Chain A
Amino acid sequence: EAEVAQSPRYKITEKSQAVAFWCDPISGHATLYWYRQILGQGPELLVQFQDESVVDDSQLPKDRFSAERLKGVDSTLKIQPAELGDSAMYLCASSSGQPGHYEQYFGPGTRLTVT
């Protein structure tokens, strides 16, 4: 069964350092999402791509976060510099992007701890 891949699974970094997360969506999925999930809360959308284009980054803290999906396949989310409040699970999800097919499939996430 096809899955969304993410790496690393865990990352510990000191504040002010840079961190990067990678996501490989299910093959053929045009839509890719990055979510942040704080412990005990639901996922919150950071950025959404349709192919290589950003369609929603309204909740992305653009002074320190950046995301790219250069060839419309895999994607990287970067934080620079990391702050203590960035400690969370970062989830990637993908969906086919086909009309009527809204199902999102999530990866295992990257657990970030900023010290």
Chain B
Amino acid sequence: QQQVKQSPQSLIVQKGGISIINCAYENTAFDYFPWYQQFPGKGPALLIAIRPDVSEKKEGRFTISFNKSAKQFSLHIMDSQPGDSATYFCAASKGGGFKTIFGAGTRLFVKA
């Protein structure tokens, strides 16, 4: 019940295309859903996050779509660029300082 399942494991997208990464969770007590971006040899960096009281959040080219009833959320990267090539992790927590559970990651490669 503590797992966060992420798919796909890897993704290749053409420059200018849309990258979509999906996550599913089981624990309905989770109330904070961040996405992190990690480049090789670096620590993860917070990209965007959403709370379950909204269905969508957009920041620049990055959008989170959230479906509370299905217990799923996804990251959409519009106009994908080669510089977006990285590993992306979804995560979930109960907030308030409780443990954050990370997905297994999606390795994104954007072809120029």
Q: Which residues of A contact B (CB under 8 A)?
A: 4, 31, 33, 40-45, 48, 50, 55-56, 91, 93, 95, 97, 99-100, 102-109, 111
Contacts known (A48-B97, A102-B95); A42 close to B105, Cβ less than 8 A: yes
Pairwise interchain contact A103-B49, C-beta atoms closer than 8 A: yes
**Distance from A31 Cβ to chain B, minimum over Cβ atoms (Å):** 6
Pairwise interchain contact B100-A108, C-beta atoms closer than 8 A: no
> What B residues does A33 contact at CB under 8 A?
100
> What A residues does B42 contact at CB under 8 A?
108-109
> Closest residue of chain A to B44, judged by CB?
A106
Pairwise interchain contact A106-B96, C-beta atoms closer than 8 A: no
Contacts known (A55-B97, A102-B95); A41 close to B44, Cβ less than 8 A: no
Pairwise interchain contact B102-A109, C-beta atoms closer than 8 A: no
Pairwise interchain contact A45-B99, C-beta atoms closer than 8 A: yes
Pairwise interchain contact B43-A42, C-beta atoms closer than 8 A: no
Determine if B32 is an interface residue (Cβ-Cβ < 8 Å): yes
- Partner of B104 from A4, A42, A104, A111 at Cβ < 8 Å: A42
Pairwise interchain contact A107-B43, C-beta atoms closer than 8 A: yes
> What B residues does A106 contact at CB under 8 A?
36, 43-45
Pairwise interchain contact A102-B93, C-beta atoms closer than 8 A: yes
> What B residues does A95 contact at CB under 8 A?
97
Alpha-carbon separation in the docked complex, A39 to B105 (Å) = 11
Chain A to chain B contacts (Cβ below 8 Å), 10 pairs: A4-B43, A50-B97, A91-B43, A93-B43, A102-B96, A103-B49, A104-B100, A105-B46, A109-B42, A111-B41
For B30-41 the 0/1 string (1 means CB < 8 A from A) is: 001010100001
